[in-house]
Amino acid sequence: MSPVISVRDLRVSFRTDDGVVHAVDGVSFEVHPGEVVAIVGESGSGKSVTAQTLMGLTRAPNSTITGSVSFEGADLVELPEDEFRTVRGEHIAMVFQDPMTSLNPVYRVGDQIAEMIRAHRDVAKAEALSQAVELLRSVGIPNPERRVRDYPHEFSGGMRQRVMIAMALALDPEVLIADEPTTALDVTIQAQILRLLENLNRDRNLSMVLITHDLGVVAELADRVVVMYGGQIVEDGPLDEIFYNPQHPYTWGLLGSIARLDEARPERLPQIPGQPPSLLNPPPGCRFAPRCGYAVAECATPPALEPRIGDAAHLDRCWLGPATKRAART
């Protein structure tokens, strides 16, 4: 099956007063129809910049973008902005972290949804508002005929996130990018939003790119997991492989920081020592080596992202051999 999005050697850098920030450095992955790909990592790992680049949102006078992002035969990196507008929203849509900063506080939510529909479709305002009502209904907002006339501040945080998802679905895109969609929501509301995304994926065969640092969210939704560190992918594999057979020490650290209900409660959860690298001047060789308790001499040379355990679908960027990794994890 051909991928709906294919990212190859994507590099995104930003010129600043302090120097050049290499936010994304040689990232490659694919998203297939109906697949949910989760991109995880600490803050500053490059996951949000990667997602925003798929939407063409990192284009700026101080940015440099190379590599390719293939979608339906077009390279989005090279696509002129006027042509990209027909892709953004209509074919690839995005749900951002904070719906309150994404919604205009002085416009009714129905008008905001209708405005986006009319920007891409030749429909009357009344028809666009009718579609807005049905979109709000489809994401589980009660009394959508009334709520379509409400302002953003009249919705709870969870309901505002549902509004953002409704807006993203308005043009029936093939790909939905969700950037930390459950941030700042309480646990009950998080579960409702995750269930909504799961249903949309199943009912619409909607491909998703999920950006998150919450591995609980990943376990609920993802088919495949891409682990990023220091602007690079350090591991990429199916969900079960990443959770039960992780191959990179950074992935071990992320998984080890999760509290488990089937084990005795520790006094303190394990943590990864040190700080993420500066992307102004990333370390040579393996970027995780300065924080890694298993670093060896070979780590001074940058390892490639490739299959190392005989599974072509499971890639990692670590010099340690399989036997050494098994011993380290036990």
Cβ–Cβ < 8 Å for 295, 324: no
Q: Which amino acid is at 236?
A: D
Using one digit for the tens of pLDDT, what is the confidence trace for 19-60?
999 999 999 999 999 999 999 999 899 999 999 999 999 999
Confidence at residue 152, expressed as pLDDT on a 0 to 100 scale: 94
Question: Is 189 a residue whose pLDDT tops 90?
Answer: no
**Which pLDDT band holds residue 125 (cuts at 50, 70, 90)?**
very high
**Which pLDDT band holds residue 328 (cuts at 50, 70, 90)?**
confident
Q: Reading across the β-sheet that carries 63-71, which strands appear in turn?
A: 19-31, 5-16, 63-71, 74-75
Q: Residue 116: what are its φ and ψ, rounded to 5°?
A: -65, -40
Beta-sheet pairing, 92-95 with 63-71? unpaired
Cα 250 to Cα 270: distance, rounded to the nearest angstrom: 12
Cβ–Cβ < 8 Å for 33, 5: no
Question: Is 258 a residue whose pLDDT tops 80?
Answer: no
Q: Residue 94: what are its φ and ψ, rounded to 5°?
A: -135, 140
Question: Is 266 a residue whose pLDDT tops 80?
Answer: no
Confidence at residue 263, expressed as pLDDT on a 0 to 100 scale: 63
pLDDT mean over 226-255:
95
| Helix axes of 125-138 and 157-169: crossing angle, nearest 10 degrees | 120
Burial group, residue 126, by CB count within 10 angstroms (0-12, 13-18, 19+)? exposed
Cα 145 to Cα 130: distance, rounded to the nearest angstrom: 9
Q: Enumerate residues 6+ apart whose C-beta is below 8 A from 291.
A: 250, 272, 273, 274, 275
Q: Residue 88: what are its φ and ψ, rounded to 5°?
A: -65, 120
User: The tokens 């298993």 sit on which residue?
Assistant: 294
Question: Is 261 a residue whose pLDDT tops 70?
Answer: no
Show the tokens assigned to 105. 């506080």
Cα 318 to Cα 330: distance, rounded to the nearest angstrom: 18
What fold is seen in the domain 5-100+173-329? Rossmann fold (3.40.50)
Using one digit for the tens of pLDDT, what is the confidence trace for 68-124?
999 988 999 999 999 998 899 889 999 988 777 889 999 999 999 999 999 889 999
Confidence at residue 265, expressed as pLDDT on a 0 to 100 scale: 66
Average pLDDT, the chain: 91
Cα 204 to Cα 225: distance, rounded to the nearest angstrom: 21
Give the rounded percent of residues in the chain with a pLDDT score beyond 90.
73
Question: Is 187 a residue whose pLDDT tops 90?
Answer: no
Q: What number of helices (H) and strands (E) belong to the chain?
A: 12, 12
Beta-sheet pairing, 224-229 with 232-238? antiparallel
Element (DSSP H or E) covering residue 19: strand 19-31
User: The tokens 């008008």 sit on which residue?
Assistant: 111
Beta-sheet pairing, 207-212 with 36-40? parallel
Give the rounded percent of residues in the chain with a pLDDT score beyond 70.
97
Q: Where are the domains of the chain?
A: 5-100+173-329
Cβ–Cβ < 8 Å for 144, 133: yes
Confidence at residue 182, expressed as pLDDT on a 0 to 100 scale: 84
pLDDT mean over 166-173:
92
Question: Is 262 a residue whose pLDDT tops 70?
Answer: no
